[in-house]
């Protein structure tokens, strides 16, 4: 009795503990997961070992599942979509809580619908189809990287080498088609494209592969991306080598399947054979950082293979399969820790289907009651596995995808760089850049690659297609000035003209043949619209357009142009009429201000020279009337360099030299301007340039099909009511009769028109700068190569010879084409006048300084002589230079009149009188010394009463 009570109490305590510790009573003894993959495949053989190792490691780890045993149910899909679906149903009826797989993207699409219905999460380690990440498959988790990121890496490689087109060989199933769409989207964002799609049947034999590669070899692109399966992809390269497609000029980029194949094949003979087929190929490998866990797994993996006496290697999918098992185990562990149970229940819809008598036993499929919670746990996982940091992004893909860029060469494979979603192409490992340990090297995104043909030179990436299809070249059917381009019914090409000959000459310089077929565009009644011709090229109706096609902004937005082979621009043509020359035409070279300043400077310079020469030059002396005449004569005779008066002073000669230089410039400018005016003066026009054209209200003509209309309306704001569409044959009559006041057209047409119509001229300047080029579809490599060829034609003179052949000058070519001449104004010469004026001012300043210095010296001597006659004479004292000054202030100051009289004196007279004063001053000094000696010998009283001796000193 007491024992029963004790037992009941123990059971009660156990029940309380079970309630207190969540999950203790609900934790099952065994949990099963499924595994769907192809056992006999490159990926499957290695994944099987990895999954079994992962399950064993989970069961040995006490920190995961805490005593609950994890078992795995493996099903072989046998590389068949149908069998894969059946195997998927069979594994789910075994009451698995999650499925590691499926390996195939196609099976993943179908099995995902079953998983959604039964709420069983799928954790795929090899299904890389990007569309599986859509919201249509909520229970699909990708334990590997999506092909969306792999195709981004491929697109970055293509962009890195500046290739614009690529051919994609892909398996024609969900796996291949999804990759095709992803690559196309990435290339389009980089202004590149998939130029040719080569779908390969999933079970294609060697003959089908060869036939496909023959079609690829006839395409333009030589950049070939191969997205195949590891089990059959090598056959593509074997066929390519037999066709000579592994030679120089080709670019082969294989997706990660190739790296998985090479990593899995450890047999030396097979690997050597494979490497011989793959020389120069660039491939990708999913990047996993090195770690102790990774090295341990690889060691145990090799030991396991050796124990079973099998050969093989570990590829990236092995690592992701191993981590996929751990994802499922950790998520189940968290589910059990939270107190959830593992239970299954019937699906009402499947039970109803089973009750109808179906033999499919759909009723055996059970719904995992905790499937939604388990899926949520998986999405929030964050742990470090053998592949690195394991966590999912919002799109249910592994975060931070990264790839290694590999190059096959010699006897192995070498890494040339990395790609990651964060850093794109780089030579630095992703985790080093993220941790800041090593910065990306400037200008180096990949190391050098050895391409097919054992060359390090980057292939051009394209050739002209050898498919027998000629380029459709649109040619405008001009009805006027056919020497540019037009239809030629009798010629072999159907088109002829200057533009056609330039195009043929450029094509002849290319290193490859370019078959062309000319398509004449136009009705032969009027010139076609060049804008519509370019649009047809942009829409793909024509491959290119050759003709007198102007390179303008709105056209460059839709097509690619070559280098211009003709410089062009819009000019204005107007009629001119003769009129009699004016009798006062000789005054028009200079403006009024220019005439006034020039005349004033003639008089000014003459006056300056007179001042500088007057004291020393007899030619500038005489009566006031004579001197005035001399000034005027000298001033204006310098205009013709005919002055007779010589200059003797240094300052006068300096001023005259500068002035004669100014006169030379003025004379030359006047002669040139007068010549232009007398020539142009016979022409009269109301419009002198672009400003006058816009300001007027007169009608303006333009050529049919020209872009001049849109330019005048959109850029210059000319109303459409003023514009008249004209054929070139109507230019002359329209201008002469006044239908239009002016015509705006491109320079090459205008030059040809004016060469035979002498009564018309261009006015103003060329107001646009453009040219003629050949139009090609966007990103056409021919546009680049033909641009180089056109430059070569220009450098070797062939372009000019073709021009002279078709566009020889006419009878009016020797006449000038410009009308109107600008009058010379003061602003063109103010610098010369400034130099001359400054020189005159400095010369006058020096002259007056010297004159005043002479004047004061001369006047000082005169004051001394006057003081000798005064009763209270002061004792003079000598100063430097022999000059003498009074010790007191002079009795009177010189007047202005005295100064002017002194200035008017001859220089020689001043020097003579100064010399005489110096001599008289010396004799006066000797006499004063004698008087002083006699005074000392006389008595003191006599000295007091003696009268001073009288003496006189005549001043000059």
204-230 confidence digits (pLDDT tens): 899 999 999 999 998 889 999 999 999
How far apart, in Å, are the Cα atoms of 922 and each of 546, 566, 877, 955? 104, 92, 12, 14
Beta bridge partners of 724: 701
Q: What angle do CA 817, 818, 824 make, to 5 degrees?
A: 150
Phi, psi of 519 (to 5 degrees): -115, 110
Task: State pLDDT tens for residues 393-425.
Answer: 888 889 999 999 999 998 889 999 999 988 889
Please report, rounded to a whole number, the percentage of residues in the chain having pLDDT higher than 70: 76
Amino acid 322: pLDDT: 96
- Select from 886, 735, 732, 756 the least CA-distant residue to 814: 756
Looking at every residue in the chain, the average pLDDT score rounds to 80
H or E, element range at 887: none
List, as own/partner pairs, every contact residues 607-612 make where C-beta atoms lie below 8 angstroms and the sequence separation is at least 24, other chains included: 607/631, 607/635, 608/655, 608/840, 608/843, 608/844, 609/634, 609/647, 609/652, 609/655, 609/656, 610/634, 611/844, 611/847, 612/647, 612/649, 612/651, 612/652, 612/655, 612/843, 612/844, 612/847
Task: Give the closest residue to 688 by CA, choosing from 820, 815, 823.
Answer: 820
Q: Give the pLDDT score at 551.
A: 92
- Check: CB of residue 484 under 8 Å from CB of residue 499: yes
Pairing of strands 723-726, 700-703: parallel
Domain at 574-578+683-769, CATH from 3.40.190.10, 3.40.50.1100, 1.10.10.10, 2.30.30.100: 3.40.190.10
Please state the rounded mean pLDDT for residues 272-287: 93
Cα–Cα distance for residue pair 712/714, rounded to 1 Å: 6
Question: What is the average pLDDT across 439-458?
Answer: 79
Helix, strand, coil percentages for the chain (3-state, nearest 5): 45, 15, 35
> Residue 889: what pLDDT?
42
CATH superfamily, domain at 471-568+773-806: Periplasmic binding protein-like II (3.40.190.10)
Same topology between domain 30-144+291-391 and domain 471-568+773-806:
no
Higher pLDDT, 903 or 642: 903
Chain-centroid distance of CA 18 in Å reads 72
Helix (H) or strand (E) holding 764: none
Neighbouring-strand partners of residue 226: 169, 254
Rounded Cα distance between 814 and 823, Å, is: 25
Alpha helices in 79-173 (DSSP H): 81-92, 105-118, 147-160
The tens digit of pLDDT for each residue in 789-813 reads 999 999 999 999 998 888 876 556 5
**Spatial CB neighbours of 693, under 8 Å, sequence gap ≥ 6:** 572, 687, 700, 742, 744, 764
Give the pairing type, strands 30-37 and 99-100. Answer: parallel
Q: Is the dihedral of CA 288, 292, 293, 294 positive or negative?
A: positive
- b/e 865-883 (16+ beta carbons within 10 angstroms → b): bebbeeeeeeebeeeeeee
Fold of 147-289+402-435: Rossmann fold (3.40.50)
Distance (Å) of CA 763 to CA 329, 814, 884: 87, 17, 77
**What is the pLDDT at residue 751?**
87
d(CA 502, CA 793): 8
Element at 202 (helix H, strand E): none
pLDDT digits (tens, 9 = 90+) for 835-886: 878 888 887 788 777 777 776 766 655 554 544 444 444 333 333 333 443 4
Which three-class secondary structure state does DSSP give residue 145?
Answer: coil
User: Cα–Cα distances in Å, from 180 out to 152, 285, 425?
Assistant: 11, 19, 21
pLDDT band of 112, cuts 50, 70, 90: very high
Stated length of the chain:
956
**Does the structure show a pLDDT above 80 at 358?**
no
Give the start-to-end residue ranges of the domains of the chain. 30-144+291-391, 147-289+402-435, 471-568+773-806, 574-578+683-769, 585-679
Tens digits of residue pLDDT in 721-780: 999 999 888 898 888 888 898 999 988 888 888 888 888 888 888 888 889 999 999 878
Please tell me the distance from the alpha carbon of residue 453 to that of residue 431, in angstroms, as a whole number.
Answer: 34
Element (H, E) at 512: none
Stated as kind and residue range, the H or E segment containing 822 is: none
Per-residue pLDDT for 656 more than 70? Answer: yes
Q: Which homologous superfamily is 30-144+291-391 in?
A: Response regulator (3.40.50.2300)
DSSP 8-state secondary structure symbol assigned to residue 600 = H
Do strands 775-776 and 560-561 pair parallel, antiparallel, or not at all (unpaired)? antiparallel
């Amino acid at each position: 009795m007491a024992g029963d009570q004790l037992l009941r109490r123990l059971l009660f305590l156990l029940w309380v503990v079970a309630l207190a510790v969540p999950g203790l009573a609900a934790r099952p003894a065994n949990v099963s997961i499924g595994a769907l993959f192809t056992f006999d495949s490159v990926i499957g053989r290695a994944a099987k070992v990895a999954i079994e190792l992962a399950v064993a490691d989970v069961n040995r780890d006490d920190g995961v599942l805490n005593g609950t045993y994890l078992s795995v149910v493996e099903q072989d899909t046998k590389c068949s979509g149908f069998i894969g679906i059946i195997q998927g149903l069979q594994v789910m009826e075994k009451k698995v809580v999650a499925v590691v797989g499926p390996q195939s993207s196609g099976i993943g699409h179908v099995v995902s619908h079953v998983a959604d219905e039964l709420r069983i999460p799928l954790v795929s380690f090899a299904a890389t189809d990007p569309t599986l990440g859509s919201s249509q498959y909520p229970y699909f988790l990708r334990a590997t990287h999506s092909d969306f990121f792999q195709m981004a890496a491929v697109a970055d490689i293509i962009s890195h080498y500046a290739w614009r087109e690529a051919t994609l060989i892909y398996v024609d199933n969900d796996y291949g088609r999804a990759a095709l769409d992803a690559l196309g989207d990435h290339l389009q964002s980089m202004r590149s494209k998939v130029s040719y799609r080569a779908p390969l049947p999933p079970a294609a034999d060697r003959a089908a592969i060869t036939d496909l590669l023959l079609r690829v070899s006839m395409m333009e692109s030589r950049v070939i991306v191969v997205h195949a399966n590891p089990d059959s992809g090598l056959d593509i390269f074997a066929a390519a080598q037999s066709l000579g497609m592994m030679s120089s000029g080709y670019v082969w980029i294989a997706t990660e399947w190739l790296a998985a194949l090479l990593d899995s094949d450890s047999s030396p003979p097979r690997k050597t054979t494979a490497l011989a087929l793959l020389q120069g190929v660039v491939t990708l490998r999913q990047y996993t950082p090195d770690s102790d866990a990774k090295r341990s797994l690889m060691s145990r993996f090799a030991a396991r293979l050796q124990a079973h006496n099998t050969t093989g290697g570990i590829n990236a999918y092995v690592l992701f399969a191993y981590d996929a098992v751990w994802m499922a185990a950790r998520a189940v562990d968290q589910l059990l820790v939270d107190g959830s149970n593992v239970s299954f229940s019937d699906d009402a819809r499947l039970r109803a289907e089973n009750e109808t008598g179906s033999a499919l036993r759909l009723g055996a499929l059970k719904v995992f009651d905790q499937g939604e919670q388990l899926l949520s746990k998986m999405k929030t996982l964050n742990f470090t596995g053998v592949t690195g940091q394991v966590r999912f992004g919002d799109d249910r893909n592994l975060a931070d995808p990264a790839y290694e860029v590999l190059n096959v060469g010699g006897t192995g494979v070498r890494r040339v760089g990395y790609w990651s979603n964060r850093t794109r192409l780089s030579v630095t490992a992703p985790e080093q850049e993220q941790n800041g340990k090593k910065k990306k090297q400037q200008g180096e995104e990949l190391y050098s690659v050895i391409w097919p043909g054992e060359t390090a030179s980057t292939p051009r990436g394209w050739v002209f297609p050898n498919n027998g299809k000629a380029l459709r070249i649109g040619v405008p059917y001009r009805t006027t000035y056919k020497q540019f381009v037009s239809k030629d019914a009798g010629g072999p090409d159907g088109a002829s003209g200057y533009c056609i000959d330039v195009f043929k000459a450029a094509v002849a310089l290319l290193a490859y043949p370019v078959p062309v077929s000319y398509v004449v565009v136009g009705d032969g009644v009027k010139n076609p619209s060049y804008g519509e011709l370019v649009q047809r090229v942009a829409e793909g109706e024509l491959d290119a357009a050759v003709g007198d096609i102007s390179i303008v902004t709105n056209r460059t937005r839709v097509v690619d142009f070559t280098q211009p082979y003709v410089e062009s621009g819009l000019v204005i043509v107007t009629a001119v009429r003769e009129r009699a020359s004016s009798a006062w035409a000789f005054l028009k070279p200079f403006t009024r201000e220019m005439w006034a300043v020039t005349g004033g400077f003639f008089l000014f310079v003459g006056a300056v020279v007179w001042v500088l020469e007057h004291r020393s030059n007899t030619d500038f002396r005489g009566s006031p009337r004579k001197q005035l005449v001399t000034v005027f004569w000298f001033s204006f005779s310098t205009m013709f360099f005919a002055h007779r008066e010589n200059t003797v002073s240094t300052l006068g000669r300096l001023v005259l030299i500068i002035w004669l230089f100014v006169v030379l410039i003025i004379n030359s400018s006047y002669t040139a301007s007068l010549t232009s005016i007398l020539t142009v003066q016979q022409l009269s026009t109301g419009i002198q340039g672009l400003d006058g054209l816009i300001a007027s209200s007169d009608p303006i003509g333009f050529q049919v099909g020209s872009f001049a209309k849109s330019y005048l309306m959109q850029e210059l704001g000319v109303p459409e009511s003023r514009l008249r569409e004209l054929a070139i044959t109507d230019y002359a009559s329209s201008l002469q009769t006044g239908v239009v006041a002016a015509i705006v057209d491109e320079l090459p047409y205008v030059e040809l028109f004016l060469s035979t119509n002498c009564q018309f001229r261009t006015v103003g300047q060329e107001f646009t700068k453009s040219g003629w080029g050949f139009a090609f579809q966007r990103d056409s490599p021919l546009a680049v190569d033909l641009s180089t060829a056109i430059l070569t034609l220009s450098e070797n003179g062939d372009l000019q010879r073709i021009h002279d052949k078709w566009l020889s000058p006419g009878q009016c070519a020797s006449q000038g084409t410009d009308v109107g001449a600008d009058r010379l104004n003061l602003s063109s010469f103010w610098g010369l006048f400034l130099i001359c004026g400054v020189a005159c001012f400095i010369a006058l300043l020096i002259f007056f300084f010297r004159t005043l210095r002479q004047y004061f010296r001369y006047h000082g001597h005169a004051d001394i002589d006057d003081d000798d006659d005064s009763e209270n004479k002061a004792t003079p004292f000598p100063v430097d230079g022999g000059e003498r000054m009074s010790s007191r202030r002079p009795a009177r100051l010189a007047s202005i009149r005295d100064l002017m009289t002194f200035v008017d004196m001859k220089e020689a007279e001043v020097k003579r009188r100064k010399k005489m004063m110096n001599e008289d001053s010396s004799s006066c000094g000797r006499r004063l010394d004698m008087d002083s000696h006699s005074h000392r010998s006389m008595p003191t009283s006599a000295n007091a009463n003696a009268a001073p001796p009288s003496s006189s000193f005549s001043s000059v």
